[in-house]
Structure 1
Amino acid sequence: MGCLIHPSYFPNLAQFSIILNTENVVFEVYDNYQKQTYRNRAEIYGANGKLTLTVPVIYSQKNRQLYKDVKIANDGNWQQAHLKSLQSAYRMSPFFEFYIDDLMPLFKDRFEYILDLNLKCFEILSSCLQLDLSIQFTECFEKIPTKLKDFRHLINRNSGVFKFQPYTQVFTEKHGFIANLSILDLLFNEGPKTELYLNEQSPI
């Protein structure tokens, strides 16, 4: 059975593990946008512990919008700030220099919609991992999907459905292992072993 899941900004390990271990992947693009989710944020491991990177969006709770219609607030320098945060967090990791050039379009190109950014993000990450995935998109919203296993709840922070085995992180000695961060944390630290690690994880 295929999975129904949200595209997100630098997806976390739970989301990527599901994507890699499913026959076919369908991205939800017809849901209502909600604040405080991984739709526009990713969590990385900085020098002081968990650090959240948030893409600013133009959104009002009073006027509901579909996820696909929410625009990015590009009047600031969020891309430069995110890149600097990644450089500070991972420049000493084993594979940062190997992958960062591939990721640069996400910090240099202008994206109007958060969904477009997230889809490009997934495309580049899939290329980094040399994944050949067939992705489909919803054409309407189904509260209770009948033909797909629903993993849309993983877009919410602290969904807590996986138990992850520790791997070496840059600041492990300072703060210990932090689980379920952005795929970038695993990619920069484990490189080619990323897919193998994700395939060995399982829900609890």
Structure 2
Amino acid sequence: MKTLLHPTYFPSISQYAAIVQAEELVFEKEDNFQKQTNRNRMYIYSPNGIQLLNIPIKHSKTAHQKYKDIKIEPAFNWQKQHFKTLEAAYRTSPFFEYFEDDIAPIFEKQHTFLFDLNIELFEIVNQCLGIAFQPEYTAEYFHEVSEVNDFRYLANGKKDTTICEPYQQVFAEKHGFINNLSILDLLFNEGRYALDYLKKQSL
């Protein structure tokens, strides 16, 4: 069965579990952009606990804009800030240096469209996990879909109630286990074991 998802900014662990467990993958390309979702944000484990990293987007005068048409606001040097924050959070994690060369270049590129950035991130994370997917893309938007696993709601953290199995995190002694962060948290802490972990998560 096909699995339908939104591409998001370094997706949540629950989203990546859905990707890894999919027989065939379809990305939603025709929906309207929704604010305050993981389309342009991710959550990481910083020295002070959970931290939000948000990509600034260009605001449009039209009420509804398709996700694929959303442009990134280039006036803020968000890439440099995000990578510095990731370094502060994960430099001491077991696998940060192992994956650093794969991930760092994306923070030096200028993307016009958010959707294109998130597709490239998807390819980078797949490379880190040692997997390959050729996703399909929707040609039109349907609110209700049949004969697919509809996991589009996972792009909205408020609707995602997934409980992830605990794993070792850098600052766990200070703040305890923080559930369902960005896939980067799992990668930097678990390395290639992350793939086995994702396969075992229940959705």
Q: What is the TM-score of this pair, normalised by structure 2?
A: 0.97
Deviation at 1:20, TM superposition (A): 0.7
How is 1:22-37 mapped onto 2 (pairs within 5 angstroms)? 22-37=22-37
Counterpart in 1 of 2:201?
A: 201
Hey, what does 2:51 align to over in structure 1? 51
Q: Which residue of 1 aligns with 2:139?
A: 139
TM-score calculated relative to the size of structure 1? 0.97
Q: Give how far 1:64 is off.
A: 1.1
Compute the displacement of 1:146 (Å).
2.2
Q: How many residues align?
A: 203
Give the deviation of 1:134 after TM superposition: 2.4
Amino acid at match of 1:114: L
Which residue is 1:42 aligned to? 42
Residues of 1 paired with 2:6 and 2:31: CA distance?
9
State the Cα deviation string for residues 146-188 of structure 1 (Å, max 9, x = none).
2312111111013233221110000000000001000000000
Q: Which runs of 5+ in 2 are unaligned?
A: none
Give the 3-state SS of the residue equivalent to 2:191 in structure 1: helix
* C-alpha separation in 2, matches of 1:67 and 1:60: 12
Structure 1 residue runs of 4 or more that deviate by more than 4 Å after TM superposition = none
Q: Deviations over 1:53-72 (max 9, x none)?
A: 10000124753100000000
Identical residues among aligned pairs (%): 46
Corresponding residue SS for 2:186: helix
Unaligned runs of 5+ in 1: none
CA contact (8 A) 2:25 2:135 kept: yes
| Structure 2 partner of 1:78 | 78
Match of 1:109 in 2: 109
| CA shift digits 1:65-95 (9 cap, x unpaired) | 0000000001110000000000000000000
Match of 2:192 in 1: 192
